[in-house]
Chain A
């Protein structure tokens, strides 16, 4: 079995370097900084993070120079297949067998939560870029992970508030029937009601669903101004497509997508998505700095980066900077160092990492362009306004995270 041989060889290698280099690099845990990229490489979320995110990670390591504090930076990756089981096991193995220093990527919330539990027990460190659930830094917070790009709180709040302010004050909710959908629905309902609107009806559909015609018909029958989509991924895509076929927007109703990504809009096309309001953590064409990075990414991958892929780059850079500044890869020290340094780069504006692990930064309200307005395949959003970092995310005063109340 090659497995045994490799393990044995690995053990010997680790042992010898520990003996030989122990004194020379007292601050680094071993002879390398190892970053493991864990994401859905083949399933539903492949285009959101997937291989593109790994490429972004590699870009960050290359741009950093390939080594930090005199030791090389090593990158490896695995497919979590959206399974908490597979994700947790992979990370456990990375800790036990490969001395992983940072776990990056991660999309499905179930995977992220499972992984962070493993890391908490083993004093590791993770930066989650792909997950949506705001519970990751709320009831599931740990001192061992940071949530980088976005979560459902700013998405629901930013979009719902903007829509109600524009006069859309009666809502019909189309909710994916699982914890995540319920949470999103709850968030939106609260915002709508706080701003003087009303949720007049809703339907909870099984997850996943391919045929939305029945639910769209119910939404049409409800007479609400706005149909809110508290679902994600292919469900959202299917719902929007179906709504466009049934002429939902022509009868005076409007869709509000709460969790829509660049790759979704790209896949559906502007015909079906135009006019959609959404909140995003980053958009490749939002300014010169972003464009410059995105063009470099595009050259390597052939697609424009999603906010998650950009976030992987940004967070990896921040991590490496912190390792350099702290002079060690000791997770606890690096985590503290990361929290002390502001996050200011092409991706994040006014960013900082809070004690609950949430990286708060400016978010943006965007509207999907119409086919006439768009000048190219990836010219998809128009940024309408900026939601300041400190307003965008759940305030710490509402936090259920144990780290906050200590």
Chain B
């Protein structure tokens, strides 16, 4: 796991330069994000952004608090189902209200999951989250409002704030982009706040954090809840974009996929999940329509193995290492 760039140079000057560089990077990315829909297919970009937000939320937990959740699919699905159900059964609701409701539902579920899971560590933590997610999956198969195996279809995109028609892909894209930027900024603020520093301290050495007087459980719980809420936000937004919610999102394979995205991009780096999600989504889309389509799961498996074996810091992590080595 990597430390952020701040800890690198002690002198104020260098730190300021690092901050300027980061500011420039953010601006450049923002510009790319604004122009992107004119170059690439907007629906495809929206898919990437939704999964990137999901992966970023997951990364907040794994990368900065050191907690591996194997049940994050539950939050993605909850956001999606709640939003989808509300929007299709109450046509008067505006999409942002639906998304807000979905996010809040995931937040609540995160509170329950978190309260149970943070009492255990390491692999046990992963297993508790997996078990809880399995129960949520069971609930969604049984519950009548989800449409079971058929899923929830024909969710209206509606009018944002009752004003902007989201049925155009371009309008929809900018909304999703705004949601992503908001989510990303929240994570960025969290990570760089004193709260984030304590999380990192817990990740590095939990007993020490305890002996310093931090209420470790409370910190972990808050991190868990934020992560769950953002995962729900990703799920809610995704449902509005694609106008459907299905069991795929609740299945434990989805929990595995988000780990892959994060791992591939770089655990504990801000941009890693974005890169990872972009790659995995492009790979799946491109492969599904190529003669190699049947090999998608084999290729994903191989990426998993290669990532773990030879570049555990992920793509962004490795780049950071190179940058740090050469441009100190």
Q: Is A303 an interface residue (CB 8 A)?
A: no
Q: Is A178 an interface residue (CB 8 A)?
A: yes
Q: What's the Cα separation between A81 and B284 when bound, in Å?
A: 11
* Cβ–Cβ contact B153 & A4, under 8 A: no
Contact with B along A48-87 (1 / 0, CB 8 A): 0000000000000000000000000000111101011110
Is there a chain B Cβ closer than 8 Å to A249's Cβ? no
User: At the interface with chain B, which of A19-27, A90-98, A378-386?
Assistant: A90-98
| Residue A267 interfacial (CB < 8 Å) | no
- Interface residue ranges of B38-96 to A (CB < 8 Å): 39-41, 43-44, 47
Residue numbers in B under 8 Å from A206 (CB-CB): 141
Report if B297 contacts A (CB, 8 A): yes
What 1/0 mask marks residues of chain B from 221 to 247 whose CB sits below 8 Å from any chain A CB? 000000000000000000000111011
Question: How many A residues face the partner with a CB closer than 8 A?
Answer: 38
A357 to chain B, nearest CB (A): 16
B154, chain A: closest CB distance, angstroms: 5
A133 adjacent to B41 (CB under 8 Å): no
Which secondary structure dominates where chain A touches chain B? Answer: helix
**B249 nearest CB neighbor, chain A only:** A85
A374 within 8 A of partner (CB): no
- Docked CA distance A41–B295 (Å): 10
Chain A residue nearest to B147 in the complex (CB): A179
Given contacts A84-B153, A109-B150, A179-B147, contact A90 B289 (CB under 8 A): yes
Are A79's CB and B294's CB within 8 A? Answer: yes
- Indicate with 1 or 0, residue by residue over A216-237, a CB within 8 angstroms of chain B CB atoms: 0000000000000000000000
**A78–B242 CA distance with the chains assembled, in angstroms:** 18
Which residue on A lies nearest to B44, using beta carbons?
A93
Are B246 and A85 touching (Cβ within 8 A)?
yes
* Contact partners of A191 in chain B: CB under 8 A: none
Tell me whether B148 is interfacial, beta carbon within 8 Å.
yes
CB of A317 within 8 A of chain B? no
Other-chain contact of B288, A8, A79, A113 (Cβ < 8 Å): A79
A8: B residues at CB distance < 8 A: 39
Smallest beta-carbon distance A321→chain B, Å: 27
Query: Are A179 and B148 in touch, CB under 8 angstroms?
Result: yes
Extra contacts besides A79-B293, A96-B43 (7): CB < 8 Å: A3-B44, A4-B39, A77-B289, A78-B288, A78-B293, A89-B47, A117-B154
